[in-house]
Structure 1
Amino acid sequence: MMTGFRLNLSPLKEPLGFVKLVEWLTAIFAFGSCGGFSGTNVVSLFCGGGMNETLNASFHYPFRLSQVPLIDGNVTICNHSVTTTHLMGDSSSAAEFFVGIGVVCFLYSMVALLVYLGYMHVYKDSDFGPIFDFIITAVLAFLWLVCSSAWAKGLQNVKDATDTDGISGTLALCKGTNVTCEVTDFANMRTLNISVVFGYLNMFIWAGNAWFVYKETRWHSQKFSSQPGPGRQQVPAPI
């Protein structure tokens, strides 16, 4: 039961509501393009003498690469015995932090839109609502900066660990032997690159929205009410 609910779509025509709708959409693109990723790099091993073998380096969100087996079990490759080998690195903390902030912003945007469209009369009649909204919006804008920077670094670590140099450094077979290792087919990481872009885009959108939310607070109204009106001059006291 929604006591006091009054549906009013006019806030969507104003920056306060429209930007919140944009935040809801960009949050979906941000965490969706990161959290749903799965890819495989194909590693070609040139053994010499015309022999070639391939390995699949499969990885996915949350990118705990150290738990992803490149070689599972003791096998013989290029006439060399190779034990179980995992990829190197772990970017799960950065990826999960990024996705977590995206989900929080997605949920908060939905709640805020519900308030704007149904309870705007309560929102504007209280000091608590706009001030709380402003503080949360400013904090989330800062968290977008932090998590996007962390995920950008984590994504670069994933790329480094799954490229030719990273695989060659992981496989002992590729060190000091006549075996040449090369990644010949790369996973398409376009969506991961897009997720970083949307992360920083969200930061700018939330930072900009903080201004529109601030205008609804009493801090803004008190600031302008305390300023003298145009053309007002102090009348000197009679002598």
Structure 2
Amino acid sequence: MMGLRLDLGLFLEPLGFIKVLEWVFSIFAFATCGGFQGEVTLLVSCKGVENKTVTAAFAYPFRLNTVVFSVPDPKRCDGTWTDFYLVGNYASSAQFFVTLAVLAFLYCTAALVMYIGYMHVYQRNSKFPLTDLAITVITAFLWLVSTAAWAKAVTDIKISTGGSIILEAESCKAPGTTCLLDSVTRMGTLNVSVMFGLLNMVLWGGNVWFVYKDTNLHSQINKTSLSSGIYPRRI
């Protein structure tokens, strides 16, 4: 009764197929955000030092206020250079986004096991579809919130690693010292992570209907419609 009944045909139905897409895109979401590594490089000229390269490396969880540009050459800059840090801490938005992606991945894994191996149990116990529906609705909402927060953080990260802020540091404005922004790692990967967040939001939001159809809420509405002589359209 409770044993495994493998049915791979569920992958061809909307309930299973969309869950597979959610599983895949959750991996892409946390990989593109959590796996990012970048750096900002300055060319510093001061007394006795010409075009010395200074690099500050940053990565997930994007606590930029802990990323430092170290002294290029303290002995030959006559003490005009002091360490300074990038601006901003975007760890909360990044960690929220990545944590949601990981939890979504784990839930999709568990749900797929249930769908393809224990669908007979899922359909006979009304609590499983209702729980699935509640989690799907909540997750869709959290994808909306986390993606919006992460998209704002990505914009701020680009601003914080741009020359307009960095070149205003006191070390770069010291007498006889000049700083030039040499390079900044391209952040296309972070843009892609935001896109995957939006895709996940759409997938989870769209999946609400297919999960809802397996709940007793949907069946009760159908019974009410039939008893009143109203025949619902099949979608």
Q: Which TM-score applies when normalising by structure 2?
A: 0.89
Whole-angstrom distance in 2 between the partners of 1:173 and 1:125 = 69
How many residue pairs get matched? 229
Do 1:47 and 1:179's aligned partners in 2 also have CA atoms closer than 8 Å? yes
Alpha-carbon displacement from aligned partner over 1:193-228 (angstroms, at most 9, x marks no partner): 100110011001000011100111111111121113
1:225 to 204, 223, 226: 223
Aligned to 2:156: 157
Alpha-carbon displacement from aligned partner over 1:135-193 (angstroms, at most 9, x marks no partner): 00000000001111111111112111111012123x21223645443322120211111
Aligned to 2:210: 212
Distance 1:72 1:107, change over 3 A: farther
User: What percentage of aligned pairs have identical amino acids?
Assistant: 44
Do 1:91 and 1:154's aligned partners in 2 also have CA atoms closer than 8 Å? yes
Structure 1 gaps, min length 5:
232-239
Do 2:41 and 2:53's aligned partners in 1 also have CA atoms closer than 8 Å? yes
Deviates most, 47-56 or 203-212:
47-56
Alpha-carbon displacement from aligned partner over 1:95-133 (angstroms, at most 9, x marks no partner): 011000000000000000000001100001111010000
Distance 1:73 1:178, change over 3 A: closer
Classify the secondary structure of the residue corresponding to 1:226: helix
Whole-angstrom distance in 2 between the partners of 1:77 and 1:126 = 76
Whole-angstrom distance in 2 between the partners of 1:137 and 1:77 = 61
Letter in 2 for 1:218: N
Aligned to 2:179: 181
Do 2:47 and 2:76's aligned partners in 1 also have CA atoms closer than 8 Å? no
Establish whether residue 146 from structure 1 lines up as the match of residue 174 from structure 2.
Answer: no
Whole-angstrom distance in 1 between the partners of 2:230 and 2:149 = 48
Aligned to 2:195: 197
Aligned positions of 1:44-123 closer than 5 A = 44-47=43-46, 51-71=50-70, 75=74, 79-123=78-122
Aligned to 1:235: none
Whole-angstrom distance in 1 between the partners of 2:208 and 2:30 = 21
Distance 1:78 1:136, change over 3 A: same
Do 2:71 and 2:81's aligned partners in 1 also have CA atoms closer than 8 Å? no
Deviates most, 139-148 or 65-74:
65-74
Whole-angstrom distance in 2 between the partners of 1:216 and 1:190 = 40
Distance 1:131 1:90, change over 3 A: same
Distance 1:134 1:72, change over 3 A: farther
Establish whether residue 15 from structure 1 lines up as the match of residue 41 from structure 2.
Answer: no
Distance 1:83 1:59, change over 3 A: same
How big is the shift at 1:84? Answer: 2.6
Distance 1:34 1:61, change over 3 A: same
Distance 1:66 1:76, change over 3 A: farther
